[in-house]
Chain A
Amino acid sequence: MSTISTSRRMNATPLLQLEHISLSFKGVKAITDISFSVNEGEICALIGPNGAGKSSLLNVINGVYQPDQGTICYAGASRHRMRPHDAAVQGIARTFQNIALFKGMSVLDNVLTGRNLHQRSSWVEQAFNVGRAPDEATEQRRKAEQVIEFLRIQPWRHQLVGNLPYGLQKRVELARALAAEPRLLLLDEPMAGMNRQEKDDMSRFILDTQREFGTTIVLIEHDIGVVMNLSQHVVVLDYGKKIGDGTPEQVRVNPDVIAAYLGTTH
């Protein structure tokens, strides 16, 4: 196992720390004793062959799955498990491997649901459009439009999401996550099924997100080229175990990683 370079962690504080996380489904081990940390403001890529436990790990981080063992330390607080709602409240937003958009709603409405937790006005105020409600509605709309503009999906804002092509749906899902103004963004294969041009666009949006908003990003990606360009930190999983952890350069020369990806030479 490669050692984490000390220089990388010196002046950065970890936002997320996973400690000895294990997860199994009916006796089948999906994740075995995984520990790693993600620094505030970095892009961390989870890579590994299919079935390595990457998505499961993401699901543990935002509380969809409950780990058998281990603790999750996020923003200074340590816990055994997250709940999806708590995760959202604490600023963790995510996208899903098989796009989980509200297909019967417009692009704008989908992005607005991402603003859900930034609403303060009460039901009564909203029902009669009094008090905080009118200003808040305007403000929510403005923030949603900002995100839509940021991801260049203005032309489709009033279209139903279910009618959009795949690549655009991926972008709308990112927009919905960004609308929440997250501190930690989890992206499960944001570039799956995309062509080169679309992947470049998506990489650009992810980098811009990190730069403009300082968002910490954990993403799963299969395209090694994209991963090496995009991330400052790479964690490699294989059969539910961590086999590599470090900068892209360190991971690239890690013999365990090479073996997992290319097969061992005998």
Chain B
Amino acid sequence: MSFFFEVLLGGLLAGVMYSLIAIGFVLIYKASGVFNFAQGSMVLFAALTFVSLLERSVPFWGAFVFTLLIMLVLAWAIERFVLRQLVNRPPITLFMATLGLSYIIEGLAQAVWGAQVHGLDLGVSDEPFELGGMLLSQFDLFAAAVAGTLVVLLSLLFNKTRTGIALRAVADDQLAALAVGIRLHRLWLIVWAVAGVVGLVAGLLWGARLGVQFSLSLIVLKALPVLIIGGFTSIGGAIVGGLIIGASEKLAEVFIGPIIGGGIENWFPYVLAMLFLLVRPAGLFGERAIERV
């Protein structure tokens, strides 16, 4: 039984890492109703910038602050030169723009920092330790604490302030939002900047785990089932979705895997997401779409 809990807890903690990626998507989805395809590239770009600065013997916090500034500048540039031109266009146009952005950002990262794989050590040990008879990863606990802090901060910022209502308004109808005096451009800037910061945090944690390399931008694909289960518009949903994915894929691997030959960890989340699409297309916490016909 304790083995079951050990697997479950390990899975939940791994799930937090998925949640971190998913949160970045939720923010931009809330503000423009599109899946930001460039989020993965932003994660990569942030991690790569940070690690390259470290390797050029910039101190840890200096590199962190500098990367943070770079992400803010990136958000500003995206709003100024891409999004601003696309006000009041259909969501598919915005989506295509994020697709293009993902290549630009990835190319930029490669052009500036090169394409080799970097190791990243955050100074948090990945040694497992024992707690009540279960082996836990110290690094996973650290990641969970960081994610928890982020969620609390973001909830305060986006649910308790008028920004929350403004975001929903903007996602619903940009023209009307402008007409009631909502500062669309500023809102987009804030959301992309915050998504960039979340991308930085996710990039550091994932980079420390997998090494900073170009495949990092592919974790976008891992965030999809999380978003489908949690709902695209809810920060809390991204956390719950991540936990469900993390726990279920580990449990499935350990307990169902041997029966059907193993290796199911990689596709199990997508099967789960598909089942959710059949039963609850808006996800657990997503806003249900209304359509009068």
| Chain A contact residues, CB within 8 Å of chain B | 62, 64, 84-85, 87-89, 93-94, 96, 100-105, 109, 112-114, 116-117, 119, 123, 126-129, 160, 162-163, 176, 180
Contact = CB atoms under 8 A, between A and B. Distances in A.
B156 interface: yes
B292 A128 contact: no
Interface string B159-188: 011110110110111011111111110000
A184 to B, nearest CB: 12
Interface in B246-293: 287, 289-292
A157 B292 CA distance: 18
A123 B158 CA distance: 10
B157 interface: yes
A85 B181 contact: yes
Contacts of B160: 126-129
Given A96-B176, A102-B176, A104-B287, 5 more contacts: A64-B178, A88-B181, A103-B173, A117-B181, A128-B160
Contacts of B290: 103-104, 160, 162-163
A116 B292 contact: no
Contacts of B168: 102, 104-105, 109
B166 to A, nearest CB: 7
B180 A93 contact: yes
Contacts of A88: 178-181
A106 to B, nearest CB: 11
Contacts of A112: 165
A176 B171 CA distance: 17
Contacts of B177: 102, 113
A176 B180 contact: yes
18 contacts: A85-B183, A85-B184, A93-B179, A96-B175, A96-B179, A102-B168, A102-B172, A102-B173, A102-B177, A103-B172, A104-B171, A104-B290, A113-B169, A117-B180, A126-B160, A126-B162, A127-B161, A180-B181
A217 B33 CA distance: 33
A98 B287 CA distance: 23
B89 to A, nearest CB: 14
Nearest to B163: A123
Contact of A114 (B180, B184, B289, B291): B180
A162 B172 CA distance: 11
A62 B290 CA distance: 29
B165 A100 contact: no
B21 to A, nearest CB: 25
Contacts of A94: 179
A96 B180 CA distance: 12
Max count, chain A CB within 10 A of own CB: residue among B157, B176, B184: B176
A103 B169 CA distance: 9
Contacts of B156: 127-128
A54 B292 CA distance: 28
Contacts of B181: 85, 88-89, 116-117, 180
A126 B161 contact: yes
Contacts of A127: 156-157, 160-161
Given A104-B168, A127-B156, A119 B162 contact: yes
Contacts of A113: 165-166, 169, 177, 180, 182
